[in-house]
Amino acid sequence: MYHQHTKNLLAASPHESTVSHRFWVSEHHSVPGVAGSAPTVLAAAVAAATSAIRVGTGGVMLPNHRPLVVAEQFGVLASLFPGRIDMGLGRSVGFTDGIRRALGHDLRDAEDFPGRLTELLGWIDGTQRAHPQVHARPAEGLRIPAYVLAVGEGAAVAAAAGLPLVIGDLRGREKVLRAIEVYRRDFRPSARAERPEVIVSGTVAVAGSEEAARRLLVPEAWAMAYSRTRGSFPPLAPAEEIESRTMTAKERELYERGLDGHIHGTEDQVTEQLEQAIKETGADEVLVTTSTYDREALVDSLRRLAGIAGQGR
């Protein structure tokens, strides 16, 4: 299910005994190993290979696309896989200047996210009037659950639209809690959601020891530090190779910062950390991502995490 840097997401509700009931794929561009540069295409492949789990996007970055096209794509998905498609939507316009230029967008495009979201929902609901005699087929009239992804700023957008909020990451806990407070305070009930719904997202790594779990975080931490200093993403590298690197002061600072604050450790440690996060945020669901170089260690981490959720710990 996981590829290098895909940042695919598994969701589980703290109130249910099921291990997971959503599998979401994200949108990233120009990142080695990513299968999700076309998230709706990847979501279709995942849905076709499964029969019960909900499949969606975490998310389609709406400023990169015309709302009509996004509506049409999700209409096709929802028609092919009735009752199993989630439409997660974000406001990012690309991580680096080069990617933004290649996509034909800049940071200003994110400012129109509320307008694009309204237009997209109008295509699906059949309420848009800006383009008479134009219809988003086969999306129009379908019930496709929509979610707003936010780091913080998007919480107000989700509240105004009356949509569930997906917020991360859990490292910036105070910022997340402030955004959730704003979301719940300002939430306007809608036909899509009668009450506020919060899904918190974060990286989780589980291993036989705290140190082993921390080393799972090393490849992604270095990739992020590299991208922030050099403008492009490298392939994920083995932890031991990264730990032996000579880094500049800036790279070292970003790398160490990238390791801090993630939920990681043994099963008991991760259980305690997750329970604390759920208690603090009042989350309805937890969305988990883990990205690392070692495939066997990654699968082991996911199995351990599934064991925690399955036992209702």
The total of other beta-carbon atoms located within 10 Å of residue 9's CB is 26
- φ/ψ of residue 300, rounded to 5: -60, -40
Alpha-carbon span 204 to 200, nearest angstrom: 12
pTM over 0.75: yes
pLDDT tens digit sequence for 186-229? 999 999 999 999 999 999 999 999 999 999 999 999 999 999 99
List 60's β-bridge partners, or say none: 89
Query: β-strand 263-265 against 285-289: which pairing, if any?
Result: unpaired
Read off the pLDDT band of 33 (50, 70, 90): confident
Read off the pLDDT band of 4 (50, 70, 90): very low
pLDDT, residue 19, reads 52
pLDDT tens digit sequence for 247-296? 999 999 999 999 999 999 999 999 999 999 999 999 999 999 999 999 99
List 54's β-bridge partners, or say none: 22
**Residue 79, token pair as written in the block:** 């028609």
- In DSSP notation, the chain reads ---TT---EEEE-TTSS-S--EEEE----S-TT-STTSHHHHHHHHHHT-SSSEEEES-EEGGGS-HHHHHHHHHHHHHHSTT-EEEEEE----SSHHHHHHHT--GGGGGGHHHHHHHHHHHHHT---SSTT---TTTTT----EEEEESSTHHHHHHHHT--EEE--TTSHHHHHHHHHHHHHH----SS-SS--EEEEEEEEE-SSHHHHHHHTHHHHHHHHHHHHHSSPPPP--HHHHHT----HHHHHHHHHHHTT-EEESHHHHHHHHHHHHHHHT-SEEEEE---S-HHHHHHHHHHHHHHHHTT-
Contact present, 71 and 141 (Cβ < 8 Å): no
pLDDT, residue 311, reads 54
